Amino acid sequence: GENVEQHPSTLSVQEGDSAVIKCTYSDSASNYFPWYKQELGKGPQLIIDIRSNVGEKKDQRIAVTLNKTAKHFSLHITETQPEDSAVYFCAATSDTGRRALTFGSGTRLQVQP
Amino acid sequence: NAGVMQNPRHLVRRRGQEARLRCSPMKGHSHVYWYRQLPEEGLKFMVYLQKENIIDESGMPKERFSAEFPKEGPSILRIQQVVRGDSAAYFCASSPTGTSSVGEQFFGPGTRLTVL
């Protein structure tokens, strides 16, 4: 089955700096890669996703890149703000098979004001 | 447009009791997924259902756990004879109906189960 590894487990940045979170996946059949933000006591919130037919996608301060050959994808947050502080999860799945998301272990991002 | 709804938000049970967790998907969604999250860990898939059908239950423990999504009403995750190891946050997600490609999954606020 699919295995998703996520790094780093914790990340502390100064407000205004950029943050990068990286994930690798094992199943070459995976073709959908969402990112979720989870605040304390809440459910995961979908913030951006990418499908395997594109290499990059951007939404305001958030971007995701995908390297299918190397089987890794990354989340980039620019101009970080204190409200970006949360736990971020990457995930992977495919159109075929189970369609269930396989999640990474999470990155706790702390933005220092 | 209401999001995914889960209730109760918090549930306390004693060992040996039953826990029932409910999930109402977003309007227009008929695909429901249940995930479990242990403290300080990622979410683990449990079961995938469509109306009146279990599509994939490969992530669900073989004993004590069951799930349903009836034609009418919410999806139910049922845990019989709970043990302390069942203490976790249980999240439901829904995705749109009728897409050939895998769709976005939108999560509810979760039910936090505590087993005493």
Ranges A68-82, A94-108, B32-46, B72-86: which has the least confidence:
A94-108
List of chain B residues whose C-beta atoms are within 8 Å of the C-beta of residue A6: 42
Interchain contact A35–B (C-beta under 8 A)? no
Ranges B14-18, B49-53, B84-88: which has the least confidence:
B49-53
Mean pLDDT of A14-39: 95
What tens digit of pLDDT does each residue of B50-71 get? Answer: 989 999 999 999 999 999 999 9
Question: Per-residue pLDDT for B32 more than 60?
Answer: yes
Whether B112 contacts B45, CB under 8 Å: no
Distances (CA, A) of A18 to A4, A55, A96, B81: 23, 20, 35, 48
Q: What are phi and psi of A84, to 5 degrees?
A: -80, -10
Mean model confidence pLDDT for chain B: 92
50-109 of A, contacting B, C-beta below 8 A:
51, 89, 93-95, 98-106
Give the residue from A47, A37, A46 showing the smallest Cα distance to A106.
A37
Q: Is residue A34 classed as helix, strand or coil in its secondary structure? A: strand
User: Which of B102, B104, B107, B111 is the mutation pick for testing A, counting most A CBs within 10 A?
Assistant: B102
